[in-house]
A and B are shown apart, each in its own frame.
Chain A
Amino acid sequence: MKMLISILPACGAIVVLLVLWQMAISFFGVPDYILPGPTAIADSMGHSWRMLGSSLVVTVEEALLGFFVGAVIAIFLAILMVLAPAIEVASLPIVVALNSVPPVAFVPLALIWFGLGIWSKIGIAALSVNLVVLLNTLGGLKTPDSAAVDLLRSYGAGRFGVLWRLRLPAAMPALVTGLRIGLPRSTIAVIVAEMLGAYTGIGQIIYQSTAQVDYLTVWAAIFVAVVASLVLYGILVAIDRKLVWWS
């Protein structure tokens, strides 16, 4: 109930926006190729829901798989780096260099390496999630001050004891922030990769419909993508609250 009330103003704003949009389109007689109204877009979604639905499943699958692969590798690497500082020193140059390159620049490379199937999308999504989660988790694992570490040591905790009882809980908020930033990034990375080369998926529909000057379908695909990302984001926020209940 509280949750419902908290999203009420946002829902109101969305409804007002849609109504204004529709009214403006009808009033000024804006042609569809510049900006179709919400009803026209809904109509187009109704016509091609089968194609949109099956593409959406592929896109969401790729985005989620990429997200999981990227996040798991990132958390594993961050823990490894904290346990063995030598690894951190050796791999930092790669992380720093990769981090300054925009992930979209790697899309052609992913397509050349992994082909047009789902693996190139999973790869690029994993990469774009990986760096942000890795840097966040690493920062989080290092938050406990040395006094707290010393205290646990004096009670006989080993490296893993310190990690499990102190560092991991301390890293949770930063880790969750990383995940939250990472999820939309993985969706965007997947759609961008699909636009440049794929057999199916929302990005590919957008690309093809643009080429066929079918802007209603472009808008319908964008709408579907927005709703899907919002749902994913909502689920993630709900999981966050369970994971970091103390903040």
Chain B
Amino acid sequence: MDAILELRNITKVYGEGENRVVAVDSVSLSLRKQEILLIMGPSGSGKTTLLSMMGCILRPTEGEIVVDGRVVSDIEEEMLPDIRKQYFGFVFQSFNLFPSLTAVDNVSLIMRLKKHDKTKLQTDARGLIERFGLGKRGDFYPADMSGGEKQRVALARALAGDPPIILADEPTANLDSKTGLDVLGHLRDLSKESQKAIVIVSHDPKVETMADRIVFLEDGKIKVRD
């Protein structure tokens, strides 16, 4: 079994009594190394909640989350940031870059957070930026970059510190078709060349072509598995 991430019968319930909402209902999933898993579903189906639980940002109400063989769903709250730092890179729909930092600094920030060797921060961050074709844009601030460039910086940031799992929430939603394809190409390369396991939540049909596996979520439940 080469699963890097497993969800075992997890459920997430918000509210109580009349306000009780089951966002994710008894979902079991596993993510293998180098796999690209696409989670699709209509709005409100629980995709983001599921992704949040996969990334140890949100705790399940029931069930277990196992990362690299370790059950993390019941560990102490203050341990979770370390798990996220060690295992996950995140790509967000709205990029979530720091406007006061240049592209290189946005990447090096995560390296600092992960206690990267300080003497190599700038070099390594610049190397990642160049890898995504932004060599000449490294000293630019996000406000001076296009959407596609921002998302490529976000990809570089997700890769900083070399986490084994990349979680991407609607990574092409704010991009035009061509730029979206470019970003998806980079994600595919990450899976194949950097051997990353990638989970993508998306409505974008273009993503389906590159996914190894697609999961459809509806009303918090998995409907179909390929």
Question: Do these two chains really belong together in a complex?
Answer: no
Q: A residues touching B (Cβ–Cβ < 8 Å)? A: none
